[in-house]
Structure 1
Amino acid sequence: MKIEKYNQKLLAILGTVGVIFLTVALVAFISITIMEHRRYNPEDIETGILSDEKIEKLQKENKREQVISYKTPILIDTLKSVYIIPVSHKTLNEKEDITGLLNAFTSSENDSKPSDNRYSGGFYGAYNNVIVYNPNGGKNKKLFEKRVNFNKINTEYFDNEILLLIQASEKDTFKDGVINLEDFKSLYIYSFSQNKMEKIGIDGMDVYDYKFVNNSKDLIIKFGVDKNKDGKFNEYNEPTLVKKYEFKSGKLIDIISNKTNSELQKMLEGTKK
């Protein structure tokens, strides 16, 4: 009897220790997962530039709150030695006179390093423009001629083409005083072979995601629909639709017909008999 009771107590102790160990391990795993997600989540990067309304107010005061900051050049085309230089910005602790010396040009030593990736790549940061730079000819050009904001530059390599893809916001659609990724985004595609940029977007919608069609330069683009008209797409309770972008023609084409869409909606809401 004593041996049985001892064995029961021993099993109880071992069971308790095992439960505690598993609980601690589970908590540690969840904590590490959350930390890693936060560390690499591009949405955590503050990318906002001031809205047009705030800029106008500052201009009346002859002041500025943000200054240009250049990132480390990134090698895009190894054969032609073509680089891109992401243009970022810094928000000053205090306003300064626009007429004053602009002494805040900076370059971070911790920026993304040149990549040898010949297929695809992505570079994260707080950006408002991109400069294409050719050191051989000493030439450079900026891609955007207007105020935009974005946090990632994607590169895609094809046999005879290199594309830059950027999801950028250009208006303060959410009306919070800042142009950032909370606002509607358009997709910009820059072709190095054609030396031109194309803009893809639909008024009142957000370019939420995109993927290339297999073995093609055509794209499947997912648009977020702003159902409540607040100027911001909420992925949790607002719908998305998908369209195909034909790279050669530059046209957006419906993938799902209006008829099929209507039938699916009626089935969902139970109005189709």
Structure 2
Amino acid sequence: MKIEKYNQRILAVLGTVGVIFLIVALIAFISITIMEHRSYDDVETGILSDEKIEELQKENKREQVISYENPRLIDTLNSVYIIPVSHKTLNDQEDINGLLNLTKASSSYEKNDTRYSRQYYGAFNNLIVYDSKNDSNKKLFDKRVNFNQIKAEYFEDDILLLMRVSEKDTYKDGVINLLDFKTLYIYSLGKKELKKVGIEGMDIFNFKFLNNEKDLTILFGVDKNSDGKFEEYNEPTLIKKYEFETGKMTDIVDEKINIDLQETLEGTKK
């Protein structure tokens, strides 16, 4: 009897553990599914292409409206904020001459502050730099753009804002979003200057500051099949160095090593 009761208890414990494991696995699966769905939505909610805009304007209609997000403090000493400008895609088209109802939208995600770097995520189409001490503000872009991340980097003499921005519907799917080629924009809060970094026909895939410098290493995505979209899993990247002060772009890996590596990979080097 004692052995039988002991076995029953063991089975009960194992059953409970099994149920808990299944519940945890189910929650994890649901969470991953939601995150993937949100990531897909972020890409698909880009701004409309110029061609789509022309069609809407012929009918005096609009499908998207601007939406402001809460200010984020960038420069504590000088009380300078940034105000991301996002957009909402309406369920139904509306007349351009109609009332533009704007509502504030809170950020869907914001990373905790770090000492030297901050990042903000969302679906943005512009950025306002707001100086609360002087009650002045400045928008960074005078054209239609789309980006999903604002990176703030802190240096002793300056604060830099960096954004990978899509400007054209290179993929030709009717929207300007993160599937299209991206250009890097860098704004200096100290100099109040906006710099553009890119190579025509290539995608800014990633970037990284060199140690204790403002110079960057940049990975450019190469569109091998010329479809207007960089596919990171089967298309290559090039690495270059960008000198912040001069704006000069140079190769990090020289051409001889580049050719040697390729020939070794493809087996043509004997």
In structure 2, what is the equivalent of residue 56 of structure 1? 54
Q: Distance in 2 between matches of 1:76 and 1:61?
A: 41
**Contact 2:107-2:121 at 8 Å conserved across structures:** no
> What is the Cα deviation at residue 99 of structure 1?
1.7
Which of 183, 192, 200 is equivalent to 1:186?
183
Structure 2 counterpart of 1:90, one-letter code:
K
How many residues align? The count is 266
Mapped contact 2:81–2:129 kept (Cα < 8 A): yes
Please give the secondary structure, in 2, of the residue aligned with 1:69. strand
Quote how far apart the aligned CAs of 1:31 are: 2.7
Tell me the CA shift for residue 247 of structure 1.
0.7
Structural mapping, 1:31-70, within 5 Å = 31=29, 34=32, 38=36, 44=42, 46-70=44-68
Tell me the secondary structure at the aligned position of residue 93 of structure 1. strand
- Unaligned runs of 5+ residues in structure 2 are none
Contact 2:43 2:179 in 1 (8 A): no
Change over 3 Å in CA distance of 1:196–1:43 after alignment to 2 = farther
> Mean Cα displacement is larger for which, 30-39 or 143-152?
30-39
CA distance in 2, matches of 1:256, 1:221: 12
Q: In the TM superposition, what is the alpha-carbon distance from 1:202 to its structure 2 partner? A: 0.8
Q: TM-score, normalised by structure 2?
A: 0.87
Structural mapping, 1:119-268, within 5 Å? 119-268=116-265
Q: 1:112–1:26: structure 2 CA closer, same or farther, 3 Å change rule?
A: closer
Give the secondary structure class of the aligned counterpart of 1:259. Answer: helix
Whole-Å separation in 2 of the counterparts to 1:267 and 1:66: 51
Report if aligned partners of 2:42, 2:123 keep a CA contact under 8 Å in 1: no
- Partner Cα separation in structure 2 for residue 25 and residue 135 of structure 1: 49
- Contact kept, 8 Å, 2:111 with 2:120, in 1: the verdict is no
Q: Which residue identity lines up with residue 230 of structure 2 in the other structure?
A: F
TM-score where L is the length of structure 1: 0.86
Q: Residues 77, 115 of structure 1: CA spacing in aligned structure 2 closer, same or farther, 3 A cutoff?
A: farther
8 Å CA contact 1:72–1:112 kept in 2: the answer is no
Q: CA deviation at 1:101?
A: 2.3
Residue deviations 1:99-125 (CA, integer Å, cap 9, x gap): 2222x2110245667976541111111
- C-alpha change, 1:146 and 1:218, in structure 2 (3 Å) is same
Amino acid at match of 2:60: N
Specify which of 81, 84, 92 is matched with residue 82 of structure 2: 84
| Partner of residue 3, structure 1 | none
Question: Structure 1's 79 and 115: CA in aligned 2 closer, same or farther, altered over 3 A?
Answer: farther
State the distance in 2 between where 1:63 and 1:46 align: 21
